[in-house]
Amino acid sequence: MPATASADLSRLGQGTRLHAGKVFRRKDLAASLPSVDRELGRALKAGLVRRVAQGLYYVPRHTPFGEVPPREEELVRSFLDDDHFLLFNPSVYNSLGLGTTQLYRSSVVYNHKRHGLFTLAGFEFDFRVKPRFPARDQVSREYLLVDMLNNLDQLAEDPDVLLVAVRRKLDSFDAARLEQALRDYGSARTRRLFRQWMSEHDAQG
């Protein structure tokens, strides 16, 4: 970054550390920069920052291959102004070994604040308000299975084929964790489905 651009960015970010990849809100600068709108206008015109949404900006990162947007997690965190969310792409269901292969363009964001489809810095996000969801480091195969079944009608896969595959592969999941995931996160329909499967299993036994 040229020295003049670096100086302009430093002036804009006085009181807030701005660096390549940083996502920030207008309000983060307003307290220490009385002329925040004028300075943001200059920075936008000079290409030092990019606008993501109303009141939300980021400092682009430059690589030999061109400009790179910030990480999805940083965009979502700043957009929500909250750390409590679960971000994932439904393509992760393919890791469950059920024969699913679909790839999805939009990532899903479970959160407590926003609902709807938003495009942020070129990324598509499907924000869904949920009362409960696990922390990112607590997401298990069993949770993903329950979540996949909760969202069965929104997937590109054939639901009947997928249900047959799930029924056939149930023994590959941890029974205790699956029961806990159902209790904590399963929809009424998903819980009924599992009760039906368990009833059929007991009848066969």
Question: Same domain for 29 and 91?
Answer: no
pLDDT (tens digit, 9 = 90+) per residue, 173-188? 999 999 999 999 999 9
Per the listing, tokens 């690589």 go with: 63
CA distance 122 to 118: 10
Last residue of a domain, one of 30, 52, 70: 70
Question: Same domain for 140 and 159?
Answer: yes
Question: Same domain for 139 and 199?
Answer: yes
Q: In what order do the strands lie in the sheet with 50-53?
A: 23-25, 56-58, 50-53
Last residue of a domain, one of 50, 70, 90: 70
| Residues 6 or more apart in contact with residue 134 via CB below 8 angstroms | 86, 143, 184, 185
CA distance 14 to 140: 42
pLDDT (tens digit, 9 = 90+) per residue, 74-119? 999 999 999 999 999 999 999 999 999 999 999 999 999 999 999 9
Give the total number of structural domains in the chain: 2
Q: Residue 94 is part of which domain span?
A: 73-204
